[in-house]
């Protein structure tokens, strides 16, 4: 069996643009094209174009597709209307998070689950097993789609110049079928950057055509190709969790501060319910972990919090990846979760402690 990474339909185009490529979850993906900082700031102030074709699309169809999803996932999928989407988790029986997902309702009895690339097979296997007792078909559609995202404040104008779809009426976490530059697409107002934007699910043979059309449409407003590196700093700056970092199988949604995605009120049982009920009780008396923003005194990035002098005494914490410009986190529209003023933290920078 070949161990070579998989290539997206845009691989040759990325290389022609001089992208630095990296093996990510078994895919050869663009890490950056030039400056990570410039790509990050372009998405915040203008627009960025991303290849996200490594994500895992799984389709469920049939009269009991929604019942299968309500059993398999922690969210209440039965309340998702046609053309809408929902962020949710799939958990183990012990409540540990297997992955965070977006579920799109494409029709009355058709749903598309989008999993993280690193967990796509795990999610597919879990959904297949959990749906076995329901009248539904689980289909692996990972090879059926290329996924291109345009994100940033200029993205609505860029996309509007290429489609007749009603973008003004398209709400956040909603999607509709349409054509973009003549290419049939599912147009979704979703993304993981903290900015307004769209994700376009298209057939792989149309990916290059669509990328080039978007690039041309965005020439006059500062659209740039953007890699996975700045996507990570963008989502982190916006306080959005990533599986393998803020989310793992050792954490429940309540431990991760995301208990709101668990819907105990939905009808019927679901995988992990008992463990999550216990986790919810613990969270009511024990504060969950929080992702917060820190501003360093100096230019060198800190790598680990050693001590905080507030209520939790000498508890240690973990620092995620530094973001290029902490000031951007104060922009309107960029979410900041759990941010509050602390006195001082001691951090490790290289082999030195600071301050």
Domain boundary among 210, 237, 264: 237
Tell me what pLDDT residue 120 has.
97
Q: How many residues does the chain have?
A: 355
The helix (run of H) or strand (run of E) holding residue 107 is strand 97-107
Is residue 114 predicted with pLDDT exceeding 70? yes
Confidence check: pLDDT of 328 > 80: no
CA distance 167 to 174: 10
The answer to the question of residue 182 being in a domain is yes
CA-nearest of 80, 83, 75 to 100 is 75
In a domain, 97, yes or no: no
Q: Under a CB-based contact definition with an 8 Å cutoff, are residues 96 and 244 in contact?
A: no
Indicate the DSSP class of residue 252: -
Q: How far apart are CA 25 and CA 45, in angstroms?
A: 29
pLDDT tens digits along 42-64: 999 999 999 999 999 999 999 99
Two tokens at 313?
């005494």
Spatial CB neighbours of 87, under 8 Å, sequence gap ≥ 6: 75, 100, 101, 102, 173, 261
Q: For residue 268, how many other CB atoms are within 10 A of its CB?
A: 9
> Considering the domain boundaries, does residue 10 fall inside one?
yes
Task: Report phi then psi at 208, rounded to 5.
Answer: -65, -45
- Residue 215: exposure state from Cβ atoms within 10 A (0-12, 13-18, ≥19): middle
Q: Find the helix or strand (DSSP H, E) in which 213 lies.
A: helix 207-217
Domain assignment present for residue 281? The answer is no
Same domain, 218 and 336: no
**18-39 confidence digits (pLDDT tens):** 999 999 999 999 999 999 999 9
On whether both 179 and 49 belong to a single domain, the answer is yes
What CATH number does residue 17 fall under? Answer: 3.30.1360.120
Q: Note the pLDDT tens digit of each residue in 221-268.
A: 999 999 999 999 999 888 888 898 889 999 999 999 999 999 999 999
Domain coverage including residue 314? 304-354
Q: What is the pLDDT of residue 348?
A: 52
Q: Which residue has the tokens 């990035």?
A: 301
- CA 334 – CA 286 distance, rounded (Å): 28
> What Cα–Cα distance (Å) separates residue 314 from each residue in 101, 288, 291, 308?
35, 17, 18, 6
Predicted pLDDT of residue 11: 98
- Give CA–CA dist 346/110, Å, rounded: 51
Tokens of 250: 């050792």
Q: Distance between CA atoms of 302 and 13, rounded to whole angstroms? A: 36
Residue 167 confidence (pLDDT) above 60: yes
Rounded mean pLDDT, 78-87: 98
Average pLDDT score over residue span 95-104:
98
Judge whether 148 and 197 are in contact, CB under 8 Å.
no
pLDDT band at 150 (very low <50, low <70, confident <90, very high): very high
The pLDDT assigned to 345 comes to 55
Residue 158 vs residue 313, higher pLDDT: 158
Distance separating alpha carbons of residues 67 and 136, to the nearest angstrom = 9
pLDDT at 109 over 90: yes
Q: Classify residue 49: in a domain, yes or no.
A: yes
Q: Does one domain contain both 224 and 331?
A: no
**What's the number of domains the chain is made of?**
2
Q: Are residues 47 and 150 in the same domain?
A: yes
Q: What is the separation, in whole angstroms, between the first and last Cα of the chain?
A: 51
DSSP tag of 302: P
Q: Is residue 193 part of a domain?
A: yes
Quickly state the pLDDT bin for 4 (edges 50, 70, 90).
confident
Question: What local confidence, expressed as pLDDT, does residue 288 receive?
Answer: 66
Asked if 112 contacts 69 with a C-beta cutoff of 8 angstroms, the reply is no
3-class state of residue 284 by DSSP: helix
Residues 174 and 310 in one domain: no
Last residue of a domain, one of 187, 208, 237: 237
Whether 41 maps to a domain, the answer reads yes
End position of a domain, from candidates 237, 262, 292: 237
Whether residue 188 sits in one domain with residue 309 = no
Residue 297 lies in a domain: no
């Amino acid at each position: 069996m070949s161990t070579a990474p998989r290539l997206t339909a845009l691989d040759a185009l990325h290389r022609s643009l001089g992208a630095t490529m990296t093996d990510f979850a078994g895919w050869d993906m663009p890490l950056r094209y030039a400056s990570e900082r410039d790509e990050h700031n372009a998405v915040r102030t203008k627009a960025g174009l991303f290849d996200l074709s490594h994500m895992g699309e799984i389709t469920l169809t049939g009269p009991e597709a929604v019942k299968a999803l309500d059993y398999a996932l922690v969210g209440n999928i039965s309340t998702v209307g046609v053309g809408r989407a929902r962020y949710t988790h799939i958990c183990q029986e012990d409540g540990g998070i297997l992955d965070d997902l977006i579920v799109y309702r494409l029709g009355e009895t058709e749903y598309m689950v989008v999993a993280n690339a690193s967990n796509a097979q795990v999610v597919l296997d879990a959904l297949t097993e959990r749906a076995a007792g329901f009248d539904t078909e689980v289909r692996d559609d990972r090879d059926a789609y290329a996924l291109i995202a345009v994100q940033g404040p200029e993205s609505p104008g860029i996309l509007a110049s290429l489609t007749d779809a009603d973008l003004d009426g398209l709400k956040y976490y909603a999607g509709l079928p349409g054509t973009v530059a003549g290419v049939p697409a599912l147009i979704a107002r979703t993304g993981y950057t903290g900015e307004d934007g769209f994700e376009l699910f298209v057939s792989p043979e149309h990916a290059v055509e669509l990328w080039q059309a978007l690039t041309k449409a965005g020439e006059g407003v500062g659209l740039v190709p953007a890699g996975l590196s700045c996507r990570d700093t963008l989502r982190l700056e916006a306080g959005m969790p990533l599986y393998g970092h803020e989310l793992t199988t050792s954490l429940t949604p309540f431990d991760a501060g995301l208990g709101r995605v668990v819907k105990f009120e939905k009808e019927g049982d679901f995988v992990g319910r008992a463990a999550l009920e216990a986790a919810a009780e613990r969270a009511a008396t024990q504060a969950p972990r929080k992702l917060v923003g820190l501003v360093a005194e100096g230019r060198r990035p800190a790598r680990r919090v050693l001590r905080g002098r507030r209520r939790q005494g000498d508890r240690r914490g973990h620092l995620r990846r530094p973001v290029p410009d902490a000031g951007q986190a104060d922009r309107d529209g960029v979410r900041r979760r759990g941010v509050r003023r602390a006195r001082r933290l001691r951090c490790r920078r290289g082999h030195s402690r600071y301050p």
